[in-house]
Amino acid sequence: MKNFFSTRWGIIVVGAVIGILATLLQKFGNPANMGICVACFARDTAGALGFHHAGNLQYVRPELIGIILGSLVMALIFKEFKPRGGSATIVRFFLGIFAVIGALVFLGCPWRASLRLAGGDWNAIVGFAGLIGGIYIGTLFIKKGYNLGRSMPSNKKLSGWIFPASMIILLILLVFGFKKLANANPPHALLWISLGFALIIGALAQRSRFCTVGAFRDMMMIGESYLLTGLGTFIVVAFIMNLLLGQFHPGFANQPAAHTMHLWNFLGMVLAGLAFTLAGGCPGRQLVMAGEGDSDAAIFFLGLIVGAGLAHNFGLTSSGKGIGEFGAAGTIIGIIFCLIIGFTMVQKRK
């Protein structure tokens, strides 16, 4: 059976639906230009789990759980649930840590960068330039033979289930109002709306392999525009939705959860783009692969959670005022780390 979502029209539909649902999430209560942001939501989730204690940033975001479970359901239906892992796991963990540090210097993962752009936050143009630059550096390493090695299929189904199951348990605790998970209450849409929309997004992303980093990478490496079509549609549709919903406010200054320190917006996303490329996909794609039973992607996501906790505990994150006390140091250390990984994890080709 031909998978409609793997066609050009398929990815256009996926991009459009994500654009509509993400901007609606903003209308329904998520922070501005933050309908979906894997980095920001990993940070809020880390806060809810007690990995940092930043004021109002503690809430298990059902969007993350929804994307993982939406992907899980599709993977099970289409027999694509394959427990696998073991490809340079610890490297992926640290790539996750530094990816989120870079994203939190800019204040957004590539998904939120898209939503910020669609909402008229022109700082996102600088962020995108950095993202594309980081991805480009990543493709140079890949061309030289960079490779994290093969993952192995696991003959034990359980290994693929542990991560999605932990998300189901977290969701149950959230639904039944386990008090410790709701220390603070940042702006958010109703749990069922967040979860429902994210299940749809996760399901569609699983079928289409939607990836905001692969979009540029595939274009640069083999001139393939399939994923880029999806990302472009996402941004255009989100822009139109913002116009309709009165959420479009163009400018550089005073944008929601954003700052105007261009150098660090740029370098933060260079770091994020490079780390995502070295890890094989954007954070949304990693969530989807984790839902398909990929333990390496799950570990990358846990790296995001840990990295978000570290970023807040040690002053690496930005705010509306600008970058954090150690944001510049964190970004540079992260870029150096990624360069070392890029130069060393090379397999000679015949």
Partner 1 sequence: MIQVDTRGLSCPQPIVLVNMEIKKGTKEFEILLDSQASIENVARLLNKHKLSFETIQKADHTIYHVK
Which residues form the interface with partner 1 (CB under 8 A)?
Answer: 3, 6, 78, 80, 82, 84, 87, 142-143, 147-148, 150-153, 209, 211, 214, 217-218, 221-222, 224, 226, 279-281, 296, 349
Query: Toward partner 1, which CB reaches closer, 26 or 286?
Result: 286
CB of 87 to partner 1, least distance (A): 7
Residues 219 and 299 sit within 8 Å (Cβ to Cβ): no
Query: Toward partner 1, which CB reaches closer, 153 or 251?
Result: 153
Q: What are phi and psi of 233, to 5 degrees?
A: -65, -40
Query: Toward partner 1, which CB reaches closer, 79 or 179?
Result: 79
Residues 130 and 331 sit within 8 Å (Cβ to Cβ): no
DSSP code for 84? E
The rounded distance, in Å, linking the Cα atoms of 100 and 105 is 8
CB of 349 to partner 1, least distance (A): 8
Q: H or E segment at 124?
A: helix 123-144
- CB-based contacts of 157: which residues, under 8 Å, 6+ apart? 83
Residues 93 and 305 sit within 8 Å (Cβ to Cβ): no
Query: Toward partner 1, which CB reaches closer, 112 or 285?
Result: 285
Query: Toward partner 1, which CB reaches closer, 151 or 233?
Result: 151
CB of 283 to partner 1, least distance (A): 14
- Strand runs labelled E in 17-123: 84-85
CB of 89 to partner 1, least distance (A): 12
Query: Toward partner 1, which CB reaches closer, 153 or 322?
Result: 153
CB of 208 to partner 1, least distance (A): 9
Query: Toward partner 1, which CB reaches closer, 159 or 260?
Result: 159
Report the 10 Å Cβ neighbour count for 129: 16
Give CA separation, 303 vs 89, 122, 129, 154, 293, in Å: 10, 29, 24, 22, 17
The rounded distance, in Å, linking the Cα atoms of 113 and 131 is 9
- Placement of tokens 């709701």 in the chain: 182
The rounded distance, in Å, linking the Cα atoms of 268 and 104 is 8
Query: Toward partner 1, which CB reaches closer, 52 or 217?
Result: 217
CB of 9 to partner 1, least distance (A): 14
CB of 3 to partner 1, least distance (A): 7
- Placement of tokens 């998978």 in the chain: 3
CB of 147 to partner 1, least distance (A): 6
